[in-house]
Structure 1
Amino acid sequence: MKPITEYSDYRTYMRDFYEERKRVSYFTWREFASLAGFVSPTYLKLVCDGGTRLSKPGIAKVARAMGLEGFDYTYFGLLVKFGNAKSAAEKEAALRELEQEARLNKIRIVDAEAFHYYETPACPIVRELAPIMPGAAPGEIAASIRNKTSALDVQDALQFLVKAGFLVKTGKGTYKQTEKSVKGSKEAIPLAIRSMNREMAGLAVQSIDTDSPDERNITGVTMGIDEAAYARIVETINDCRKKIINIARECENINQVYRVNLQLFPLSDKVNNRVVKKETSNEQD
C-alpha cells in the first residue's frame, strides 16, 4: 500500500486499506467498522462510496483501526478536513495545513509542489525572468518585478523552482527552464490555479493605474448571451489562448515577462423571460 502522503482523498486511502487487508486475510466492511468501534456495519463502506462523510469523532476511531500514529495520524485528519470542506476557502486552508505539516516533518506530499507554485505570482514570474537575467542576484531580479517582491522572495522562489525541477542551475546565477509541467491531484490543482488567478487579477487592476496604455492592453465587452453562445465563446477563448502560447514559444529574444488574463464571468443572475437582443458594450482603454 502506498504511503499516506501520496493520497489526496481520504476515502481512497480508506478503501485501499480495506482492499489490502482483504487481500491478505478475511476482512469485511463489518469487521472494519467493528474494529473502528462503529455500530453500523455499513457506515465505513458508505463513507468510502461517497454516500456520507467521516465525522470528526470518527477520525480518531478510523485512524486507530488503520494503525496510524504520529505524522500519519495528523495527515489523515487533515485529509478528512480537506475532503469534507464545503467551500473553496476551507479547502485551501486545509491544503495549506497539509503542506505546512509536511514541510515541518520534511516530507514531500503529492500536491505540495503544485500549490506552492501557484500560491503567489513570485514562482511563475521568477521562472520566466531568471533565464533571461543570467548572473543577476536575487535583489536585481526582485527590482525588475513590478509588483512588490523582495530579494528573499526571489531567493526562496529560485530554491523551490530548482528543487522541484522547474529550473536547472547551469552556473552562478544562471538558470535554464525545464519542460516539467505543474502536476497535482484533480482536487488540488483547481484550488491552486484559483488562488493564482485571484493574485494575477489583482495585478491587472494595479496595471491600470501604474502602466501606460502603450504597455498594456485591457479591454472588455458587456453582453447578453445564452448557454449556447457561452459555450462558443469559451471555445474561442481557448483557441485564442493556444495561439498566444504558440506565439510566445516562437519568441527568441525574450526581454520582458507578461501575463494574459482571459476572463469571462457573469454580471447577473439568469433571467427566465425572453429579452430583446441588445447591442454589446465594448470597453477599451
Structure 2
Amino acid sequence: MKSILEYKDYRAYMQDYYDYRKSHGAFSWREFCKLAGFTSPNFLKLVCMGQSSLSKIKIAPVAKAMELVGYESEYFKHLVLFGNAETDSAKKEALVEMDRIAREHKVRVVDRDAFQYYESWKYPVIRELAPMMPGAQPRKIADECKEYVSAEEVRDILAFLVKAGFLKKDGEKVYTQTEKAVIGSPEALPIAIRSMHKEMGNMAVRAVDRYSASERYFTGMTIGVSEATYSRIVNEIDICSKKIAAIANESDNQDQVYGLNFQLFPFTNKIEGANHA
C-alpha cells in the first residue's frame, strides 16, 4: 500500500491498511481492535466510517498495531490531530508538522508555501508589484505600497517568491511572474485563505474612508435568498471573478495593484417554515 506520507486523512489510511491486511490473509476488525487494545470488536471500523474518532491516548497503540515506527508513527499522530482538530489554528499546526516530516523524508504532501503566501497581503501584492518596477530597490517597492511594509520585509518576500516559484528573477532586481498558481492540498488551502480573507476584509474597511470615490468602488445589498438561489448567486460570482481576472490579464501595461473582494454572508439565521410561495 501507499506510504503513510501520501495520506491526509487518517481514516483513509486505517481503512487502506485494513483492506491491505485482509487481502493478504485472514484479518478482521476484531483482530485489528484487539491488537490496538480495544475491547469493542468494531470500534476501529466505526472510526474508519466516520462514526467515531480516535482519541489522543489511543493514537500510539493504533500506530503500533499498524506496525508504524519512527517518523511514520509521528506522522500518523499529526494526521489524527489534523483530522480531529476543531479550529483552524490546530489544523494548521498539524499540517505544518506533517509537511515537515514529509519534507525530511523526501515526500511533499501538503503545500506549506500556500500558508506563507497567504500569511499576509504583502505576498500577493508584492508578487504583482515587483514586475511593474524592474530594477527597483526593496525600499522603493515598499514606498509604493499603501499599507506599511518595510524594505527588509520586501527583500525577504521577494526571496521567498522566487524560491517558491511564484516569481522568476530575470536580472538584477528584475522579476516576472511565472505561470505557477498558488496551489495546496484541499485540506491546507482553505485554512490559509481564511486568514487572508480576514486581513483583506479589515483593509477594505479602512479603504472606505481612506480613498476617494474615484479611487475605490464599493456597493452592497441586503437580499433574501433560498438555498437554491444562494448556489446560483455563488456560481455567478465565480463566473464574474474569472471574467475580471481575464480582463486584468489582457493588459500588458499594469501600473497599479488593486484588491477585489466578493462578499456574500448571512445576516440572519435560517427561518424554518418561512413562506416560500
In structure 2, C-alpha distance between the alignment counterparts of 1:185 and 1:118, rounded to whole Å = 14
Superposition RMSD on alpha carbons, in Å? Answer: 2.7
Gaps (5+ residues) in structure 1? Answer: 277-285
State the identity as a percent: 52
In structure 1, C-alpha distance between the alignment counterparts of 2:195 and 2:23, rounded to whole Å = 41
In structure 1, C-alpha distance between the alignment counterparts of 2:54 and 2:190, rounded to whole Å = 23
Deviation of 1:242 after TM superposition, in Å, equals 1.8
| Runs (4+) off by over 6 Å | none
- Does structure 1 residue 79 correspond to structure 2 residue 79? yes
In structure 2, C-alpha distance between the alignment counterparts of 1:29 and 1:103, rounded to whole Å = 32
Paired residue secondary structure (1:224): coil
Gaps (5+ residues) in structure 2? Answer: none
Paired residue secondary structure (2:118): helix
Contact kept, 8 Å, 1:7 with 1:110, in 2: the verdict is no
Paired residue secondary structure (1:176): strand
Contact kept, 8 Å, 1:36 with 1:61, in 2: the verdict is yes
TM-score using structure 1 length: 0.83
Tell me whether 250-259 or 266-275 shows the greater mean CA deviation.
266-275
- Does structure 1 residue 248 correspond to structure 2 residue 248? yes
Q: For 1:91, give the aligned amino acid.
A: D
- Does structure 1 residue 98 correspond to structure 2 residue 84? no
Partner of 2:214: 214
Deviations 1:191-211 (A, max 9, x none): 222222111111111212322
- Does structure 1 residue 125 correspond to structure 2 residue 125? yes
Tell me whether 15-24 or 235-244 shows the greater mean CA deviation.
15-24
Contact kept, 8 Å, 2:59 with 2:77, in 1: the verdict is yes
Partner of 2:202: 202
Write out aligned runs for 1:107-126 (5 A).
Answer: 107=104, 108-126=108-126
Deviation of 1:228 after TM superposition, in Å, equals 4.2
Contact kept, 8 Å, 1:5 with 1:110, in 2: the verdict is no
Structure 1 pair 3–127 and aligned structure 2 pair: CA distance change class (3 A): farther
Deviation of 1:23 after TM superposition, in Å, equals 4.9
Deviation of 1:176 after TM superposition, in Å, equals 1.9
Partner of 2:148: 148
Structure 1 pair 93–155 and aligned structure 2 pair: CA distance change class (3 A): farther
Equivalent pairs, count: 273
